[in-house]
Each structure stands twice: as C-alpha cells, then as structure tokens.
Amino acid sequence: MDEPSTRTELKPLAVVTGASSGIGYELARQFCEHGYDLAIAADTPLAEAEQAFRSQGAEVASLQTDLATEAGVEQFYDLIRSLDRPVDVLCANAGEGLGHAFLDQPFERVRHVVDTNVTGTLQLIQLIGRDMQARGQGRILITGSIAGLMPGTFNAVYNGTKAFLDSFSFALRNELKDTGVIVTCLMPGGTETEFFHRAELDDTKLGTSKKADPADVARMGFQALMKGDGDVVAGAMNKVRAAIAAVTPQSRLAEMHRGMAEPGSGRK
C-alpha cells in the first residue's frame, strides 16, 4: 500500500513585479484567481495588496525594493529562492514613464526609467529564466507596450525602453523555443492606472483621454501567456493603432505623439 502523502500539494508560484497598483496588481489578482501563490515586489509598501491577495486564498511573499538597482533585484531574487520552490510564472511588469522634453528632464530620473524598465527587468528575467531553462519549464510575461511601436515625443525615453522590451521579448522567445520556457509580450495601450500621473503627463492628451481598465488588460495578458502566444495587443483600438504604426513613417509618428504628449495638449 502507498504511504499516505505527508506533504500537501504546492500551488504553482507566480512572481509579479509592480504588483502594488495598476496592471501588475490586476495580473497578481488573475494568478490568485487561477490558484497560484505569489511573490511580489514594488517600491512602495505592499501590505494592502498583500492582504487583498491573501483574501483570495494565495500565500504571498513580498518585498519593497527598488528594482532599478542591482541590489534591489538581487534581494528580490533571494526572497524567491528562500521559498524553495520553482517559479512557474514571471510577470516582469514594473515600469515607469517620464513626460516633458528630454533636455528638461533631470538625468537621475531618466536613468531611473531606463534602469527600472530595462536593466532591472533584464536582470530578473535572466536570473529566473536560467532556473526555468534548467527545469525545462516556465512562462515569462513581459509588459511591453504599443508605445514601443512609435517614437515617444515628450515621453521619449519611456517609449525607447518599451521598444527595447517589445523587441527583446520576441528574441528571447525564439532563443527559448525548444526549452519548455514560453515568453509572451503584453502590449497595452493607454490604461487607467497611476502611470500618467507619476510620469507627469496629467495635462496631456495621453493623460486625459479615455483608457482601458487594467483588469481587462491583465486578463488578456494572462490568457495570452497561458495560450503561449508571442504577444497580445490589448484592445481592438490598440490593434488598429499598432497596425497604423507599422505602415507610418517614424517622423510622422513622432509628430503624432507630440500631439498626444506635449505638455498642455490635454487642455486644448
């Protein structure tokens, strides 16, 4: 007769960065709903989010840390390793924008955007991706953006970082195609989150226009990741915008972006 199992079956584990608000919060909720435990990080306190996810039945490990720094990413990875269980899903989602003219931006803020959106994101994907590759299993959802498909006049560095992530995501997906590790790029358009206020884009057309519900965006990201799709552009209008961007000259796109992100454009 088989010995009765003494260990209760572990739930799968999802790691979500930027889970304190917006799309990351909703992604974490999706994973709770689908029976995952969580390891989450953000750079402000996570107690409230943690409580919400626990009330959905998930075990939650969390860390308040700056993922723009190498030490911050390492601390988060240490926390994940201390759980002594495999990571089934990584949502590399934390990110920030920065409005206004590039030459007017303080360089430390420029660097923070690049280090959060690109450097820290890559570091965490490499650390967790190596573990997934060794196991021959795992799913990585990278939050890129349709902003990566166009030059981002008056949010120029941000759009550049998202162009990087959109491209990187497909390259990594191809590198890993025979390994059991799936990479999907979530490409939202304007979504109703803290993002625009934090990026000082409140008085722009981008900031004032109607936006998608982050819960819908997260649901689309979850579904695309589980289906194993290469990318998902969230929402019908954004699919149209992405298609237009693909056939429009860069200089024209840059001018169009000026109309949406120039300070004061939201008041016109």
Q: Which two tokens stand for residue 136?
A: 């021959």
| Cα gap 122→145, rounded to integer Å | 16
Which distant-in-sequence residues (6+ apart) come within 8 Å of 17 by Cβ? 24, 40, 41, 42, 67, 76, 91, 92, 93, 94, 121, 124
Using CA atoms, how far apart are residues 226 and 14, in angstroms rounded to an integer? 13
Least distance to ligand NAP, CB of residue 95, Å: 2
Closer Cβ to ligand NAP, 69 or 133, answer by number = 69
In sequence order, the β-bridge partners of residue 16 are 40, 91
| Residue 194 engages ligand NAP in binding (rule: CB under 6 A) | yes
Active-site residue identified among 77, 158, 205, 211: 158
Helix (H) or strand (E) holding 92: strand 89-92
- The C-alpha torsion from 117 through 32 and 136 to 78, rounded to 10°, is 60
Tokens matching residue 263: 């300070």
- Smallest gap from Cβ 266 to ligand NAP, in A, equals 14
| Residue 148 binds ligand NAP, judged by CB under 6 A | no
Is 96 a binding residue for ligand NAP by CB under 6 A? The answer is yes
For ligand NAP, give the closer residue by CB, 58 or 201. Answer: 201
CA-based angle 141:56:125, to the nearest 5? 20
Residue with tokens 């004032």: 208
158 is catalytic: yes
List the one residue from 109, 135, 198, 239 that touches ligand NAP (CB under 6 A).
198
Binding characters for ligand NAP, 39-58, by CB under 6 A (x = yes): --xxxx--------------
Active site residue 36: no
> Any contact of residue 21 with ligand NAP (CB under 6 A)?
yes
* Closest separation in Å from C-beta 67 to ligand NAP: 4
The answer to the question of residue 204 lying near ligand NAP (CB under 6 A) is no
Among 109, 113, 112, smallest CA distance to 97 is for 113
> Judged by CB under 6 A, which of 30, 123, 143, 238 binds ligand NAP?
143
Verify binding: residue 224, ligand NAP, rule CB under 6 A.
Answer: no
Does position 68 interact with ligand NAP (CB under 6 A)? The reply is: yes
Residues known to be catalytic? 158, 162
What residues line the site for ligand NAP (CB under 6 A)? 18, 20-24, 41-44, 66-68, 93-96, 116, 143, 145, 147, 188, 190-191, 193-195, 198, 214
